[in-house]
Amino acid sequence: MQASDLLKIAKTYGDPVYVYDSEKIISQYQRLTNAFKGVKKLQLNYAAKALSNISILRLMNSLGSGLDTVSIQEVELGLLAGFKPESIIFTPNGVSLEEIEKAAALGVRINIDNLSVLEQFGGKHPNVPVCIRINPHVMAGGNSNISVGHIDSKFGISIHQIPHLLRIVELTKMNINGIHMHTGSDILDIDVFLYASEILFETAKNFKNLDFIDFGSGFKVPYKEGDIETNIEELGKKLSSKFNSFCKEYGKELTLAFEPGKFLVSESGFFLAKVNVVKQTTSTVFASIDSGFNHLIRPMLYGSSHKIINISNPKGRERYYSVVGYICETDTFASNRRINEISEGDILAFHNAGAYCFTMASNYNSRFRPPEVLWHKGEAILIRERETFDDLIKNQVDVKDLFSKKETKKEKATV
């Protein structure tokens, strides 16, 4: 999609606004599918938490994707979006036994990531097949907040606990149908990933009735020109070949599963915001936008660097700007970034705004969350309306009687 399309959307729907290009989502889905065409049974389960708008979920469903969910609400959202229960997998961390039982009762596949719940669940429901999340203790790059395979991680069952795990399975007579790992976001080094996969294969040999092996996700996508990204095609070739040999040895054609979030939706998304003020200080030129970390928190939370384009003046001469928000705390999207000359009222487009952007938005400072627009076949389709004041107060209980002068007098009178 063109910058002029984005400008038109900002004009029609106001700003700030999120825009998603369906064509990019579809091409990323196909790219990943093609990279693993050497595997007979491939299943992609889109990680709903990256971007969970119901219309995006419907698009994923139409592509043949399954759904990876981390809360019972995401499970329910997936069912509402038309996913069959069996194409949803529930992969939570540290949730209650009750929440897992609820998901199992809805017929979705269950992934358990600790021995305590495994033992309890297996004891009560030995006939419900369960996938187990393994921690291979491999650190596959990225920001320390998002690498979840290492030794101190809270995610998964340690490979060093396999003997205990096997004891639980034997005693409860439960059925393990899948082995899973998710080493965290931003896989830069394919060899590290392949190394972790070997550990997974070794673990898998302990279980006789597997249907699938799930390699999680964490594919890195480029954030700017020349950025490193996971070489999906190379990973596809190498992992497919390892997987096929494993299946031969195991004696059964298993399904190879992934749960990509960022890879499928990150680059499809744009966040559009207007510049309210251009402020020159003694050291810096600030461009203050009509938004803040209430709408896009990744730069502050993870230090992620989103490319920013001035779509109102794409040919203007480049100058250095610090792009900041309106929140009454340090709220910096970019420091001293070269951007085409900015005037007040210009619209800036933040790239890579598809994954973990809207889904992390909040009402901080009592602001409305922005609308979402899907760009599909050359048409802009509103898929979420901007919030209104009613949304802000909808669930608040106003106890005005408690503090009214009248009430105080009445109480006094009864004493």
Ligand X SMILES: *Cc1c(COP(=O)(O)O)cnc(C)c1O
The reply to whether 23 sits in an annotated binding site is no
Cα Rg for the chain, rounded, in angstroms?
Answer: 24
Nearest approach in angstroms of CB 389 to ligand X is: 33
| Nearer to ligand X (CB atom), residue 298 or residue 367 | 298
Q: Residue 107 Cβ, how far from ligand X at the closest point, in Å? A: 20
Indicate which residue of 131, 247, 328, 357 is catalytic: 328
Known binding residue 195? Answer is no
Nearer to ligand X by C-beta: 261 or 325?
A: 261
Active-site residue flag, 131: no
Q: How far is the CB of 174 from ligand X (least distance, A)?
A: 21
Closest-by-Cβ residue to ligand X is 261
Q: Give the nearest distance from C-beta 76 to ligand X in angstroms.
A: 18
- CB nearer ligand X, residue 217 or residue 352: 217
- According to the annotation, is 184 in a ligand binding site? no
Q: Tell me: is residue 302 an annotated ligand-binding position.
A: yes
Interface ranges with ligand X (CB under 6 A): 47, 49-50, 68, 70, 91, 182, 185, 216-219, 259-263, 355
Nearer to ligand X, 91 or 312 (CB): 91
In whole angstroms, how close is the CB of 262 to ligand X at the nearest point? 4
Instruction: Tell whether 298 is in a known binding site.
Output: yes
Closest to ligand X by CB, 22 vs 91, is: 91
- The residues assigned a catalytic role are 328
Which residues fall in the annotated binding site for substrate? 298, 302, 329, 356
Which residues fall in the annotated binding site? 218, 298, 302, 329, 356
Which residues fall in the annotated binding site for pyridoxal 5'-phosphate? 218, 356
